[in-house]
Amino acid sequence: MNIYGVIAAGNIDPSESVHPLWPPAAELIYGGIASLIIFSLLWKFAGPAAKKGMADRTARIQADLDAADTALTSARTEAADIRRAAGDIEAERARLLADADAQAADIIADGRARIDAEVADLEARAAADAASMGDRLGDELRAEIAGLSAEVTQRLLAETLDESAQQQMIEDFIQKVGSSS
C-alpha cells in the first residue's frame, strides 16, 4: 500500500513517515538539536585542535620548503665552487706537469754533467794507468832484454872465445877499471 492510501484510510502508523522525503517531525527536531550540540562541541573542542594541527602542518611544510630552498642554494653554490675548482684543478695540473718537466730536464742535465765528469775522470785515470803500465812494461822489457842479452853474450863468448882469449879480456877489463879509478 502506498502512503496516500494510508493517509486516506485514516490509519496513520507512527513508524511510517507521512512524506517520502522528510522524516517525522519529532525525529527532525531531536536529530537537529543533537546535530547542533555535536557540531557546537566539535566546533568548540575539535576546531582549535584542527586549526592548531593545520597551522603546525603549514609551518612544517613551510620549514621543509625553506630547508629545501636553502639546500638548493647551497648545492648551487657548491656546484659553482666545484666548477671553479675544476678549472683551478686543470690549471694546477698543467702547472704541476710543467714543474715536473722542468725538474726532469734539470735532473737529466745534472746526470749528464755528472756522467761526463765521471767519464773524463775515468779516461784520465785510464790514460795515467796506461802510461804507468807502459813505463812498467818498458822497464820490464828492458830488464828482460838486458838479461837475455847478457845470457846470449855469455853463450856467444863461451862458444867463440877460448880460455886464453877469455883470460885476456878479463885482464883488460881489470886494467881498464884500475886505470879509471
CB atoms within 10 A of CB 18: 15
The answer to whether residue 73 is domain-embedded is: yes
**Residue 134: pLDDT over 90:** no
- Mean pLDDT, residues 59-81 taken together: 92
Average pLDDT score over residue span 70-87: 86
- Report pLDDT digits (tens) over 83-94: 887 777 777 888
Placement of cell 657548491 in the chain? 78
- pLDDT at residue 1, rounded to an integer: 44
CB 15 within 8 A of CB 9: no
Question: Phi first, then psi: what are they for 147, rounded to 5°?
Answer: -65, -45
Question: What's the pLDDT at 18?
Answer: 66
If one counts the domains in the chain, the total is 1
CA-based torsion, 75, 77, 81, 86: positive or negative? positive
Domain region containing 143: 24-161
Residue 11 lies in a domain: no
- Regarding predicted confidence, which is higher, 114 or 160? 114
Question: H or E segment at 46?
Answer: none
Residue 25, all three cell numbers: 517531525
In a domain, 9, yes or no: no
Cα(91)–Cα(118) distance, rounded to whole angstroms? 40
Asked if the structure places residue 4 within a domain, the reply is no
Question: What is the average per-residue pLDDT within 139-163?
Answer: 78
The answer to whether residue 166 is domain-embedded is no
CA angle (82, 84, 87) in 5-degree steps = 110
Q: Is residue 113 part of a domain?
A: yes
Could you tell me if residue 177 is inside a domain?
A: no
Question: Is 181 contained in some domain?
Answer: no
Contact by Cβ (8 Å): 44, 51: no
Q: Are 132 and 141 in contact (CB under 8 A)?
A: no
Confidence of residue 24 (pLDDT cuts 50, 70, 90): confident
